[in-house]
A = this chain, B = another copy of it.
């Protein structure tokens, strides 16, 4: 029950440690007949890849995905689609001096506490390297989504440290986000400032955190299940399951708690495109846990990276006080590389709920409108 599977209908199981043989994902439940675009998977992986710029970890991984099963003559079979990415630049021995000391705010201690042992090379299973498998799976999910409907899932860096961008979720585009790939912030001025902020942190051997926002446009009303498996609940789980995530908001989030009900409510209005829309979108596209056809909007808080290149107090495996100084190759700021990961998790949740909905209700669209 070690929790490495996500989803109910579109089920993704990931495997792999940071410095083991490979990381990978098995997708069980992928619709058959999808013409799989491998190039598109590599594009997503390239956005997450280490070494993609001078501002991220310099570990060199080409992150080439090998499809081991589930595809025949270029199309998905409907059977498990297994993908593997070799760890080529693993350097486990670099971590041996840290094997007996717990890096602060890393998962070293808790893995020992839980399992009685851990892969001390890099973060082992807790390493962000695992997210390469999520991105590969999410890239498949995005292709499925595109067959199901005209859905667009887009994330960007909204804040780094105190540098806040100004972005209109209704207008933001992938081009704008990728115009500044070093930080993936579509506000050019803020992006420049963010870049400086990250450079300063790196220079100081320190790190910075921030916020990523994500929008999903074109999601039809009806995705999400009552009660526990609400669409926003599953999105929240998906996001908080990411390394370094410490919070999530849907729609108005924490700020909305300061409004009154009259201010906060989204009035329904006739809508040419949707049939029924809302005047405002404080609900973030989800009401009662189910999509309402408006853009889904969420934000994720990422704490600053725990690996700082300064001496820190800690304890060893015997519980004795000691100090530790980081080794290994790390990012001063995780957010630019986390943008495709947030999109991947969003795609996984949306596809899973779409297939669940289709199973229970059928594709003949339920007709909410009565004349």
Contact = CB atoms under 8 A, between A and B. Distances in A.
Given A78-B115, A124-B77, A318-B371, A26 B13 contact: yes
Contacts of A69: 15-17, 20-24, 125
Interface string A257-270: 11111111111111
Assembly stoichiometry (copies): 4
B241 A239 contact: no
26 contacts: A2-B80, A4-B227, A4-B229, A5-B13, A14-B227, A15-B26, A15-B70, A16-B69, A21-B66, A31-B362, A32-B366, A72-B120, A113-B221, A116-B361, A161-B257, A201-B260, A211-B254, A236-B237, A249-B301, A260-B304, A269-B313, A317-B369, A358-B359, A358-B363, A359-B359, A363-B363
Given A13-B13, A15-B82, A159-B257, A107 B288 contact: yes
Interface in A231-286: 232-241, 243, 245-254, 256-270, 275-276, 278-279, 282-284
A150 interface: no
Contacts of A61: none
Interface stretch (A41-49, A175-183, A289-297, A336-344): A289-297
B106 A287 contact: yes
A66 B117 CA distance: 22
B225 A230 contact: no
A24 to B, nearest CB: 7
A6 interface: yes
Interface residues of A, number: 172
A79 interface: yes
A289 B249 CA distance: 19
A109 B66 contact: no
Contacts of A369: 317-319
Contact of A317 (B110, B207, B308, B370): B370
Interface string A206-221: 1111110000000011
A202 B142 CA distance: 45
A199 interface: no
A40 interface: no
A196 interface: no
Given A110-B292, A270-B320, 8 more contacts: A4-B228, A22-B82, A23-B69, A30-B360, A107-B289, A206-B260, A246-B253, A247-B249
A276 B126 CA distance: 20
A267 B24 CA distance: 33
B310 A262 contact: yes
Contact of A228 (B6, B81, B225, B310): B6
Interface in A75-113: 75, 77-82, 84, 100, 102, 104-107, 109-113
Given A70-B15, A360-B2, A252 B303 contact: yes
Question: What are the 6 closest A-B residue pairs judged by CB atoms, nearest first?
Answer: A107-B288, A359-B359, A3-B229, A3-B225, A116-B366, A207-B261
Nearest to A267: B313
Contacts of A115: 32-33, 77-78, 361, 366
Interface string A27-43: 01111110000000000
